[in-house]
Chain A
Amino acid sequence: MTNKYSKWIWGVPLWILAIAFLAPFAWMISTALKPDVDAYKIPMQWIPDPFQWDNFSTVLSGATSVLPAFGRSVFVALLRVAGELITATMAGYAFARMSFKGRDKLFLLYLATAIIPAQLLLVPRFIYFQKLGLYDTLWALILPGMFTVLGTFLMRQFFVSQPAEFAEAARMDGANEWRVFTRIYLPLATPVMSALGILAFVWSWNDYETPLVLISNPDRYTLPLSLTNFVDEQGQIAPGLTMAASVISIVPVLIVFVVLQRRFIAAMTHTGIK
């Protein structure tokens, strides 16, 4: 069954399917590298002729640059990842290793909030952030993004799976709870933390709905919002510029994905939740 040829009997159709699957991305790159007049040429011109980088230089410089938005997306993502890791490890540890009254009931209640869609909470968040003066600032994106139920859940499951003897031994030596947490359990948790960090980064980087509602000033747009800058008032899209900016928006997640693919996929399948 696993001889040389049977591999290709399935391989060839799957590769053809994969290439068709990639067509939108190929189209994106091709359009980014050609003048707009060629964007809708019939038949489609895959290899740009003339080949030009003008679209990239336009979206990377001057008034139309997406770099400030890129920077804001990086800023938001870094703070969200850092916040997520801190809150998830601490809450996860508390739910797993510390004993307090009603701990497991509280954890269940906490888990139950995961089924509440973020979209439902947007209206009150919109109102509160306006009252607090956080509306239309990056903090409106960062603060609620600094913890997720999923993150706490992941970390709790990990800490529960770790033997309690480590902690007991350390406590005998006079270590307090904080030392036990930071010196013993936290170093063990680095693989899970990196998986969670990757997920948090991708969530933050690709988030479009939250900034759509909570950010209105184009000077504070994050990258996904700024991609819509190349659409004029009549809804006409500038193909080359939009695609060049889109390519730029994909590069960071693509790098994370390619470099950390194994860990990335492990994170996705362990949590199974976007």
Chain B
Amino acid sequence: MQLIAQLLFIAALLFGIGFFARNVKRLIRNIKLGKDIDRTDNPKARFGNMARVALGQSKMVRRPIAGIMHIFVYVGFVIINIEVLEIIIDGIFGTHRIFSFLGAGYDFLIGAFEILALLVLLGVIVFWTRRNISKIKRFWANEMKGWPKDDANYILYFEMVLMALFLLMNASDYQLQLLGAEHYAAANGQITGAFPVSQFLLPLIDGLSVSTLIIVERAAWWLHILGILFFLNYLYYSKHLHILLAFPNTYYAKLKPKGEMDNLAAVKKEVDLMMDPNADPFAAPEENGEEEEPEKFGASDVQDLNWVQLLNAYTCTECGRCTSECPANITGKKLSPRKIMMDTRDRVEEVGENINKNGEYKEDGKQLLGDYITQEELWACTTCNACVEACPIGIDPLSIILDMRRYLMMEQSAAPNELNIAMTNIENNGAPWPYNQMDRLKWAEENN
């Protein structure tokens, strides 16, 4: 019986981790669909950013209630996972609380896990209330209907159940130790572990026989670890992926001033050529030089974006802090930076599925622009960087908006008419309005 349990456990573990590895491979492949961009400079600043923003949660606490609750859940989850290590070793070797040789330190650890589990439960309940009872506006926006809303709640239910199972497992274990049950109780009669929270669950299981208690304890143990394995594999399909990707995402985030937008290299090449008095406009292409395909300006689909932008999309946890700070969204326009990120992820997933099915990407007649993100959304952006500033994990929705505007403007000439007029004015007389450049100093002659 014991051996079968061990084998079953090993099989579940291998399957869970194997499936996760397959998804991670797909994830990396999909992110690499993006164009190359060098973000390896200044590793010190990048590590610092990751330590502060991802590890240290520095931007989460800008909204104190959500921030503190999030820290409970985050710290709880990370630390309780140390216990998972013990659970896995116990599972494989059929031992009971293998780390208990740590003595008083072990009691402290288990006690701390229990308190954290309680705090996680508290945090998750507050989160659920904010989403479903107080109906905070950003959780009820248009893009949050259907799967995104369900996804968020599933995660919360899941964490509630996992924490409840963890505490129930400890409670029944404690009770079994108190009853001196074989395999559970230590030879010297000492209690292994400390149970500051689960001891209060004892009345619930009071009076149960040892054999029933073992079933309860084993069931909780199994459900807890299987739940964790399931959750691990749920990540790839969920906004919850941020728990892993927040780290690389903050590492590879832009370090330059927010106002600095990249100078397109392809455009620079063309402009240099135009400004070069020695360039021969009629020059024949070089003899054996291959006819270069002119580079596409801007982005109309996910493959035109860079891999950091795609990483951003997979990292987004749809909290909506960006959208709630967006001046366009606040004033009722369709633009929502969160939707830009969700659309990008949905489209890159669609392209990924296409590759899974066909071996390589087969034209599907769809693209990010138009099928997911409309021009109306893109033109509503004021490029104010409020969304970038608001993101707790360093996502840059503005860079995607800008790249798509570039495509509209330079490949499609599809800008709003008034904007085109301003562009023509800049071209003709060096100002967005139809004033003569020769009048630029007139203000100095005017009466004061």
Tell me whether A and B are bound partners.
no
